[in-house]
Amino acid sequence: MLTRKIIAGPIKNLTDARYFAAWMVDFMSFDLRANSTAYIGPERIKEIVEWVEGPLILGDISGHSDPSIIFEFKDVLGLDGFISDDASILYSLQSYSQHLFFKAKSFEKFDSDIQVICSTSQIDPYTNAGHEVYLRMEDVGLDNLLKFDDDSIGLQIEGGEEIKIGLKTFEELDTIFEKIEE
């Protein structure tokens, strides 16, 4: 059992999705920005989600501002929540989902139940403002993980590229999960 909440993603392949589901992460996210290198499209997302059980599914809608597109994603993909770099978009979604995450570039004050994905330098301002915080593992680094030993601080962890379909190494991810396992 993991001692911290985890957002895994953006998920780009079934291998990562099955790996993260086996570790019983809380959330899996998919990038819904068509111009992103992590974008795999709605059909592929649906295929992957059908293979995994457990984690709640999030869509990263950063850059999207058209509510009709956002609601279409929610309905078609059965999303449980959203990630966005625009707090006003998340405000507009509060009555549709309780799992909303603000992807912070810099500190932005807002007073809601929106959770925050941020860098290590933004922990204190957001936790002091009462937000649940998730650190980007890429900002923390494996060597510094134990410095952030507060189990109330979650992590956003990315998978990676497959060597070939269905084949990849999980050594670094295994090390991370072993450090935060009970």
Per residue in 106-129, pLDDT (tens digit) is 888 887 789 999 998 899 999 988
pLDDT at residue 145 is higher than 90: no
CB of 3 closer than 8 Å to CB of 153: no
Distances (CA, A) of 31 to 34, 60, 151, 167: 8, 5, 26, 22
Distances (CA, A) of 34 to 9, 17, 41, 148: 16, 20, 7, 34
What residues form DSSP beta bridges with 99?
Answer: 81
The helices-and-strands tally (H runs, E runs) of the chain is 7, 8
Tell me the pTM: 0.92
What's the whole-number average pLDDT of the chain?
88
Rounded CA-CA distance 13/181 in Å is: 24
3-state secondary structure of 104: coil
Fold category of 6-179 in CATH: TIM Barrel (3.20.20)
What Rg do the C-alpha atoms of the chain give, in angstroms?
Answer: 16
pLDDT at residue 178, as a whole number: 87
Predicted confidence (pLDDT) per residue in 151-179, tens digit: 789 999 998 777 777 777 788 888 888 88
Rounded CA-CA distance 170/42 in Å is: 26
Show the CA angle centred on residue 13, arms to residues 100 and 45, nearest 5°.
50
Q: CA neighbours within 13 Å on the CB side: how many for 87?
A: 14
User: Mean pLDDT throughout 48-74?
Assistant: 88
CB of 79 closer than 8 Å to CB of 73: yes
All structural domains of the chain with their residue ranges: 6-179
pLDDT band at 147 (very low <50, low <70, confident <90, very high): low
